[in-house]
Amino acid sequence: MPLTRIALRAGKPVEYRKALTESIQRSLVETFNVPKDDIFMLITEHEAGNFVYDNQYLNVERSDDLVIIQITLNNTRTLEQKKTLYKRMADELAESPGLRREDVFINLVEVLKENWSFGNGIAQYAL
């Protein structure tokens, strides 16, 4: 069950944001075996002064189209699965909505299964 937070500069059209979420979900389904209907994503848009980043950190040339993707998920994936996800997501986002690979920043936050409640005040994965 991933929870995905997507941060980007304000001003992109609805179609662009929809393409982001669809590409990210497709990547998660294909590489992490996430069910297609297991989709929980939050998009936040930021004005230029509230979206601060280094445009050359680690020799990656970033533009103002940078998208920061943070995914909270269970700590059950291998290093190889994570590497596969990073590549697949950059490829998917390059295809649609046409994002440069250099502008795809991904961060995984791993948690224990019992740290989720999907509703009703129940820790569904802890049962």
So which residues are the catalytic ones? 2
Query: CA–CA separation, 121 vs 110, rounded Å?
Result: 21
The per-type count for the chain, helices as H runs and strands as E runs, is 2, 4
Residues 6 or more apart whose CB falls under 8 angstroms from that of 79 comprise: none
3-class state of residue 27 by DSSP:
helix
- Owner of token pair 């502008």: 103
